[in-house]
Amino acid sequence: MLRWFKTELHVHTCLSPCADILMSPRKIVGEVLRQQISIIAITDHNSADNVSAVMRAAANAGIVVLPGMEVCTREEVHVLAIFENSASALALQSCVYDRLNGTNDPEVFGLQVVANEMDQVERFEERLLIGATDLSIEETVARIHELGGLAIAAHIDREGFGIIGQLGFIPETLKLDALEVSSNTSDESAATKFGMYEKYTFIRNSDAHFLNQIGKNSTRFLLAEPSLAEIRKALQKQDGRTVQASIS
């Protein structure tokens, strides 16, 4: 039997320098429960080091936490990578870290906190996570797929770090699994602006950097169970699975 699941597949934690320090594992889980969201993906900039803490914080909460990352490609395009298990996310992380340069200056960019499931600080990440990797967008999407993940172009309506803003268009050959539209663009305006990309499935997420942004812009998925395999089917509109995205 198929059921609707409210999802939020683009959530930052305190590991992202631009995210609020209060985006800690337990606080995120608390807000996700309050917003009655069933499935979230943790997608920090170029790192998955807070994923397992959020998964542990959510262990008995009845929500599904999918491990993910928001990769910044060489072209400065943001791509969401979403996986079933943290081993795949960490495999992408090691590939990303190999191609990421620079050291964070917390005064300029903000703190990068690796936390545990009790919301305690484990350490501060020193790599400059906010920078662009040296991975091309094609390499990024290919690597995500090799690791069994979904590759979703993030906030395609944003001028900065959106695929259309950076490249001018979405390359025909790029095998993206979905396109994400931010709350800046209404459904009507998205239909007009992105009509030529109708072969893709569109989703909406909040790209939450603050607790009060969680669930503000979410997507409902019709699934048999809350898993990545089912989400993939819904994005492909297979076997009755589907997606309903709207600004709430």
* Chain contacts with Zn ion (rule: CB under 5 A): 70, 78, 154, 161, 207
Q: Nearest distance from residue 166's CB to Zn ion, in Å?
A: 11
3-state secondary structure of 146: helix
Cβ closer to Zn ion: 2 or 200? 200
Cβ closer to Zn ion: 25 or 68? 68
Torsion of CA 163, 167, 169, 171, to 10 degrees: -90
Closest CA to 105 of 128, 82, 89: 128
Q: Nearest distance from residue 197's CB to Zn ion, in Å?
A: 18
Closest residue to Zn ion, judged by C-beta, is 78
Cβ closer to Zn ion: 154 or 231? 154
Cβ closer to Zn ion: 201 or 206? 206
Sign of CA dihedral 105, 23, 94, 136: negative
Cβ closer to Zn ion: 27 or 78? 78
Cβ closer to Zn ion: 129 or 231? 129
Give the ranges where 63-203 is alpha helix by DSSP (H): 86-98, 106-109, 137-146, 163-167, 187-193
Q: Nearest distance from residue 141's CB to Zn ion, in Å?
A: 16
Query: What six digits make up the tokens of 177?
Result: 């699994």
3-state secondary structure of 89: helix
Q: Nearest distance from residue 224's CB to Zn ion, in Å?
A: 29
Q: Nearest distance from residue 11's CB to Zn ion, in Å?
A: 8
How far is the C-alpha of 101 from the C-alpha of 234, rounded, in Å?
36
Half-sphere exposure of residue 238: CA atoms within 13 angstroms, side-chain side: 8
How far is the C-alpha of 216 from the C-alpha of 195, rounded, in Å?
24
3-state secondary structure of 240: coil
How far is the C-alpha of 88 from the C-alpha of 146, rounded, in Å?
9
Q: Nearest distance from residue 87's CB to Zn ion, in Å?
A: 23
